[in-house]
Amino acid sequence: MNNSVTRFAPSPSGLLHVGNVRTALLNFLVSKKSNGKFILRIDDTDQERSKDKYIDSIKEDLSWLGLNYDECYQQSNRITLYDKAFDILKAKDLIYPCFETPDELDKKRKRLITRRMPPVYDRAALKLKQDEIKSLLDSGKKPYWRFKLSSKKIKFKDLIRGDVSVDLAAQSDPVIKREDGDYLYNLPSVVDDIDMNITHIIRGEDHITNSGIQIEIFNALNSNIPLFGHNSLLVSENGEPFSKRNAAASIEQLKEKDIDPNAVNSLNASIGSSVDIEAFESLDLLADKFEISSLSKSPARYSNNQLDKLNSQLISNYDFEKISLLLKDKNDFLDAEFWDCIKQNISTLSEVNDWIKILNEPIEGDFNLEENYLTIAQDLLPNEPWDSKTWDEWILRLKEKTQKKGKELFMPIRIALTGKTNGPELNKLILLMGYNKVMERLKRK
């Protein structure tokens, strides 16, 4: 693959979710692998549903993920290009005006469905004579426009799905321009893909039929056809598709949870593929390993657990310098020993905060601990100076004295010191706390 040019083309009608950014990532990786170009194209021809605030959030989210684009375009600024293509298609008799109201179309559809026939548009408007069209226009009726499909089976080799065939005979001629003059998705998309020299179009499987339709438009505009790859849709843990309306797993939310963007990218590049899920510390490393052909046709299941796991793998490998950079505002509390102590036990950056709190603020809650045991623990607590052997020494004394073993021996101490049943190794933790704090916490009831 040489200098592939790819694009991510979101409609700015909602916040991005993990499924959307998976498509962005796949396009990014295909271009990155070949030293090509990655373009952000905002599909905002639908003026009613497009909002500037979503354009801003799309850009912010991509930048958070490190999916930096080389160029950015907004379709609403490119209408003259679409007008030109429209005129070309019109001159070739490939588009025709239609006048049916939504109500009339709906009735036609329902009639076909009751007769158990596919609800394909009957092309009644194509049969209108020139003078009929003229008198409709003269009476003030505004047309909308359809593209005339052939009845071919369009075949192409999909980068992910292999041989794909789209039967255009089973499709209604797509509306490409509405009554109000706004273009619908198909024509601007093809015009831009041609104008931007897109070589690879990676998008969701819900666009397979559109690809068949668009191949006819590419041909009608005498253009080369890019390669297509239709990735399977991402579904949530319970098998539901993600949507812009369902805010779960919006990028916004992942940011709030302090998830590392590399964890999101690592997960997104490997779910629904034949490769093992692995944590990559950078997009460069990810691009080196990525092969689009490893993606599979079956739905990709997103898992919060897997994301947390990858996140914790990534974070626990960060050195102190990197973590201090990420947690600039916490630097008063962070030091290399603290980081070394907790890093294996956290899966998000916000958990660093939790541990800062546990170590520095009083522990609240009634844990029903055996008071007598804690008193013995106080009596046997070695005096300072402490070192890495202090914990072992203390626990051995306790064992000999109480005959307790394993969990019974150390769990009450862990709970008294941290208020939790799990966490960093106690031998390191007590060194961070020091004698006075350990003593103070053992005295709690």
Binding site for ligand GLU (CB under 6 A): 9-11, 43, 189, 203, 207
Residue 110 token pair: 């329902």
Shortest reach from residue 336's CB to ligand GLU, in Å? 46
Q: Do 299 and 272 contact (CB within 8 A), yes or no?
A: yes
**For ligand GLU, the closer CB: 146 or 230:** 230
Shortest reach from residue 275's CB to ligand GLU, in Å? 24
Shortest reach from residue 163's CB to ligand GLU, in Å? 21
DSSP per-residue codes, 319-371: -HHHHHHHTGGGTTT--HHHHHHHGGG-SSHHHHHHHHHHHHSPPPS-----H
Q: Report the distance separating Cα 339 and Cα 170, nearest Å.
A: 61
Shortest reach from residue 42's CB to ligand GLU, in Å? 9
**For ligand GLU, the closer CB: 230 or 343:** 230
Shortest reach from residue 36's CB to ligand GLU, in Å? 17
Regarding beta strands 234-235 and 71-74, do their DSSP bridges make them parallel or antiparallel, or are they unpaired?
unpaired
Q: Do 201 and 228 contact (CB within 8 A), yes or no?
A: yes
**For ligand GLU, the closer CB: 9 or 377:** 9
Q: Do 60 and 49 contact (CB within 8 A), yes or no?
A: no
Shortest reach from residue 10's CB to ligand GLU, in Å? 5
- Closest Cα to residue 438, out of 410, 402, 401, 413? 413
Phi, psi of 256 (to 5 degrees): -60, -35
- Closest Cα to residue 241, out of 19, 8, 27, 10? 19
Please provide the size of the chain in residues: 445
**For ligand GLU, the closer CB: 9 or 358:** 9
Shortest reach from residue 7's CB to ligand GLU, in Å? 7
**For ligand GLU, the closer CB: 46 or 393:** 46
**For ligand GLU, the closer CB: 225 or 432:** 225
Shortest reach from residue 72's CB to ligand GLU, in Å? 14
In angstroms, how far is CA 341 from the centroid of its own chain?
32
Residue 231 token pair: 């990735």
DSSP H or E segment with residue 62:
helix 52-65
Shortest reach from residue 160's CB to ligand GLU, in Å? 14
**For ligand GLU, the closer CB: 11 or 390:** 11
Q: Is 317 helix (H, G, I), strand (E, B) or coil?
A: coil
**For ligand GLU, the closer CB: 43 or 61:** 43
Shortest reach from residue 23's CB to ligand GLU, in Å? 7
Q: Do 4 and 38 contact (CB within 8 A), yes or no?
A: no
Q: Do 411 and 421 contact (CB within 8 A), yes or no?
A: yes
Instruction: Give bridge partners of residue 16 from the DSSP assignment.
Output: none
**For ligand GLU, the closer CB: 143 or 204:** 204
Q: Report the distance separating Cα 42 and Cα 370, nearest Å.
A: 63
Residue 31 token pair: 């271009």
**For ligand GLU, the closer CB: 17 or 32:** 17
Helices assigned H by DSSP within 66-207: 79-91, 102-114, 130-138, 186-195
DSSP H or E segment with residue 54:
helix 52-65
